[in-house]
């Protein structure tokens, strides 16, 4: 879980657009963010295995 202060800081509008960065909507993690799903890799994996993300299935070949 990320620091609450950093999550609040990221949610505020920045003075310059380039200073904005993405955070996971679930846990607030800033690294390994997947833009398409709006969450980090850890939360994505947990939710995908639970079947909470539509259209995502575990691959096998």
Binding residue positions: 24, 27, 40, 43
Q: How many Cβ atoms from other residues are within 10 Å of residue 33's Cβ? A: 18
Give me 23's structure tokens.
Answer: 């955070």
Torsion of CA 25, 42, 44, 16, to 10 degrees: 40
Residues making up the annotated binding site for Zn(2+) are: 24, 27, 40, 43
């Amino acid at each position: 879980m990320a620091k609450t202060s950093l999550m609040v800081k990221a949610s505020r509008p920045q003075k310059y657009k380039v200073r904005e960065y993405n955070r996971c909507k679930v846990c607030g993690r800033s690294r390994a963010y997947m833009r398409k799903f709006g969450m980090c890799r850890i939360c994505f994996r947990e939710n995908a295995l639970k079947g909470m993300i539509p259209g995502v299935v575990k691959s096998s070949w």
